[in-house]
Amino acid sequence: MGLIEAVSRSAQYTFSKPNEGVIRLIAGLGVEGDAHYGEKVRHRSRMARTPDAPNLRQVHLIHAELFDELAGRGFTVAPGQIGENVTTRGVDLLGLPAGTLLHLGPEAVVEVTGLRNPCVQIDGFRRGLMKAVLGRDDDGEIVRKAGIMSVVVTGGEIRPGDEIGVTLPDGPHRKLEPV
């Protein structure tokens, strides 16, 4: 069982999101009061290309273990600073299959849709950080470490210290791809 370390949101399209004491997830829409809140795509560059596409990026989660790894490489990054809504600890987010349900706190449930594909804005935050959140596996394939994206299945309030439960999907598991 994992824990929520921090929750964050920003009503503006900002790279970093300020930490909050509590955020409310709304089924089918995302984080109430966040710029990415909505049923249809809310990522600015994607809205220009496909404005009617479903919003598969309602809630962005990053594992705090990434911040530990980055600190070992000389980067100081705190929860919310690279745009996530939920900072977790104790859950292998990148190892989850698509369709996994994450139970956040006593009520909220999100469904994992895919990986965050880090963009060049990350280097604007900390020079060289883009390279640090990308790696290669044993087969030479790119490994994206900048968190996962999800949609809200069941709404509710979540806060730091809440537990995280994991329910894997039935059937064959689908590897996470960028969304």
Buried b or exposed e, range 149-176, using 16+ CB within 10 angstroms: bbbbeebbbbebebebeeeeeeeeeeeb
pLDDT in tens, 7-54: 999 999 999 999 999 999 999 999 999 999 999 988 767 767 888 889
Query: Where exactly are the structural domains of the chain?
Result: 2-167
Identify whether the C-beta of residue 148 lies closer than 8 Å to the C-beta of residue 61: yes
Homologous superfamily of domain range 2-167: PK beta-barrel domain-like (2.40.33.20)
Helices (H), the chain: 44-49, 64-72, 121-125, 129-132
Residue 44 is predicted with a pLDDT of 66
What DSSP element (H or E) covers 111? strand 108-115
d(CA 116, CA 61): 9
Residue 47 is predicted with a pLDDT of 63
- pLDDT < 50 positions in the chain: none
